[in-house]
Structures are given as C-alpha cells and as structure tokens.
Amino acid sequence: MSAREELLTASRFGQFLSVGVVGAAFDITTSSVLTASLGVAPEVAKLIGAEVAIIIMFAINERWTFAGHGLGGRAAVLKRFLKSNLVRSGGVGVQVVVVYFLTRLPIDLQFLGVDLWELATFPIAIASSLLLNYILESLFTWRVTAE
C-alpha cells in the first residue's frame, strides 16, 4: 500500500476519530473543571487537559488504531509514547493559540457565574488540530508508511 493510501485508510481514520472523541471528553472535562471550578487560566487548563487526553488516547491507539504498527516491548512502547507527546505538541500548540484568541473575543455567555464561552473554546480548539494530529501520529509515531 502506498504512503498516500496508508494515510487515507478510512477505517484507521475512523478509529483515530473515535479515540479522539474519548480523548476530547477527558480533555474538555479536565479543562472545564480546572477553569470553571478552580479558576485556572483557560490556556493552562487546556495544556493540562490535553496531556490527560494524550495519555489516554495513546493507550487506546497503541492497542487498537495502530495495533500491528511499531515494535513490541516496553522500550519501543515508551519510545512511541514520548514521540506521541512530542508529535502532539504541535496540535496542542494550535489548541492553546485557538483558546487564547477565542477567549479574548468580546463574547460574554455567563450562566450561574460560569463563562460558557471560555468552556466552548475547548472543543473548537480540539477540532482545529484533528487532521494535523492524525497525519503526524500516522507518519512519525506509528510510521504506517514504513516498509
């Protein structure tokens, strides 16, 4: 299968997207609790939420989405985990920038003392980095195009 065909595999992208939904739930929950309940700045909460999601998504992707790609053994898995964190830092960077700019827009959606607009920026940020994360994870973490 060519590199392009490997990247355009609908079933793998569907799995990656499904895992992303799970990760997004953890990310949004963590980020929202930190921001709404503990007063953590949205950008900092986004970073923490993203790392929680990265850990969970790596574990699922390792055993499901990209099962059969990459070497076995603890050292190889640890190397992929570290690489995944590095690779996803690009997506996290995009997300933090999106949150930063969106939370500075003059939008006020207060409900019971919570700024719903701040919370709404988290899923928007996650969606903005989806394709970047899929391509980078496929090519560099699990190397689906490697012979």
Q: What is the pLDDT along the chain (147 residues), one digit of tens a residue?
A: 666 777 778 888 898 899 999 999 999 999 999 999 999 999 999 999 999 999 999 999 899 988 877 777 899 999 999 999 998 899 999 999 999 999 999 999 999 988 999 999 999 999 999 988 888 888 888 888 775
Q: Domain ranges in the chain?
A: 3-141
Residue pointed to by tokens 């993203």: 50
Judged on CB neighbours under 10 Å (0-12, 13-18, 19+), 81 is middle
HSE-CB for 48 with a 13 A CA cutoff = 13
Record the tokens describing residue 34, joined without a space. 């930190």
HSE-CB for 32 with a 13 A CA cutoff = 15
pTM: 0.82
